[in-house]
Amino acid sequence: MKAVVNVQNLLTEEDKKVILRNLSRIMDIRVIDIDVENRTLQFLYVHQLVLNKVREEMVRLGYPIQTDSSDTYLPRIFNNDAMRSANY
């Protein structure tokens, strides 16, 4: 599945490098894009539990994922077959 989330405090290319370096350590995730200008992170994931790992890691790094007013997670999540066809 594919997730596109808004990231707080994502301001520079250095922030992007920090996020990419740390998220690459999480199994079952593949970062597609980190857009500094729009402050978004796009990634593919295998299971719902991976989303929680990403959220926890982003908070630990100081780049929390923004949530809506009802404090629900998964701002924009799309079901697709991209993860099955992704090459690792």
Q: Report how far residue 63's alpha carbon sits from residue 86's, in angstroms, rounded to the nearest whole number.
A: 26
**pLDDT confidence band for 87 (50 / 70 / 90):** very low
User: Ramachandran region of residue 27, left (φ > 0), alpha (ψ -120 to 50) or beta?
Assistant: beta
pLDDT for the residue 33: 97
Axis crossing angle, helix 48-61 with helix 13-23, rounded to the nearest 10 = 140
Q: What is the DSSP letter of 24?
A: T
Asked: is 2-85 a CATH 3.30.70.100 domain? The reply is yes
Contacts of 36 (CB under 8 A, 6+ apart): 10, 11, 12, 13, 15, 16
Q: pLDDT tier at 16 (50, 70, 90 boundaries)?
A: very high
**40-77 pLDDT, tens digit each:** 999 999 998 999 999 999 999 999 999 643 233 444 54
More confident residue, 18 or 73: 18
Domains of the chain by residue range: 2-85
